[in-house]
Amino acid sequence: MAAIEWSWSRLMEFMIQSAHQLEVSPIVKYSALSLFADRFCPSLTRYTVGSNGKGNWLLQPIRESNLQLFALIALWISSKIHDSRPVSVKSFKSLGDKIIKDEHFTTRDFLEAEIVFMQVLDFEIGTSNIAFLLLEELLLQFNYYRGVAKVGELLRFEACMDIMDLLYEKEETSTLYRSPRSLAASILIASYLITVPKQRWEFPILPWDKSTTSCESVSMIIGENPAL
């Protein structure tokens, strides 16, 4: 992937902004980010050097505009998985016409790109084990303890999503993707330390989180930052 000239942060910003403009639900947004950033992009090198990817104009060469198209495709597939009334290809094409500057893609291009996207992923598009869903599960468990610590109401889910967005923009999810539960747990801890006032740190978040997730390194996001 080093030979491909494109900016990861710009691409992630494009995808997050596209999700906001389309007003998709969080599950659609984060399923799409997982499909695209955690699975599609890392698989491109393997696919393009093999016989399957050779000769396809969307992959040879791989331009940033093509990757922007595939980012929209990930959102489209995710919408079809999770929405009872998926966002139409017409809406995606209309958005692409406005925000993809270097290329004009037709509806047929979108349909072809969807097939290529699925082929790169070997048609494995399951999203039941993504960090977002595991984070929701951890938050439900955490809120069970409100009666003890009274801090569940201070932990904002929006902050968790902001942290996840930032991790995708900084390409930090790749180190934790093999353990989505670790990623979810780390996001929960970071959000707790950021949003709950220090004087309210009465809840043993690290011991609870480790016992809940059975992870030994759930605070990878925090690292050695003394501010946290």
| Domain CATH number, residue 98 | 1.10.472.10
Question: Is residue 127 within 8 Å of residue 35, measured between CB atoms?
Answer: yes
Query: Which stretches of the chain are DSSP H helices?
Result: 8-22, 26-33, 41-49, 64-82, 89-99, 107-120, 131-143, 146-149, 157-169, 180-195, 205-213
Classify residue 207: in a domain, yes or no: no
Q: How many domains does the chain have?
A: 2
Residue located via tokens 């809406």: 91
**Residues ≥6 apart with Cβ < 8 Å to 125:** 35, 77, 81, 118
pLDDT in tens, 11-38: 999 999 999 999 999 999 999 999 998 8
pLDDT in tens, 85-137: 999 999 999 999 999 988 899 999 999 999 999 999 989 888 877 888 888 88
Q: What is the model's pLDDT at position 108?
A: 95
Whether residue 144 is predicted with pLDDT greater than 80 in this model: the reply is no
More confident residue, 63 or 19: 19
Q: Which two tokens stand for residue 165?
A: 């967005």
Co-location of 113 and 158 in the same domain:
no
Cβ-in-10-Å burial (0-12, 13-18, 19+) of 101 comes to exposed
Classify residue 66: in a domain, yes or no: yes
Co-location of 67 and 85 in the same domain:
yes
Co-location of 174 and 112 in the same domain:
no
| Cα 223 to Cα 228: distance, rounded to the nearest angstrom | 9
Q: What is the model's pLDDT at position 146?
A: 53
Domain assignment of residue 72, given as a range:
8-121
Classify residue 206: in a domain, yes or no: no
Classify residue 57: in a domain, yes or no: yes
Co-location of 159 and 93 in the same domain:
no
Give the chain's length: 228
Question: Is residue 59 within 8 Å of residue 53, measured between CB atoms?
Answer: yes
Q: Which two tokens stand for residue 125?
A: 């598009």
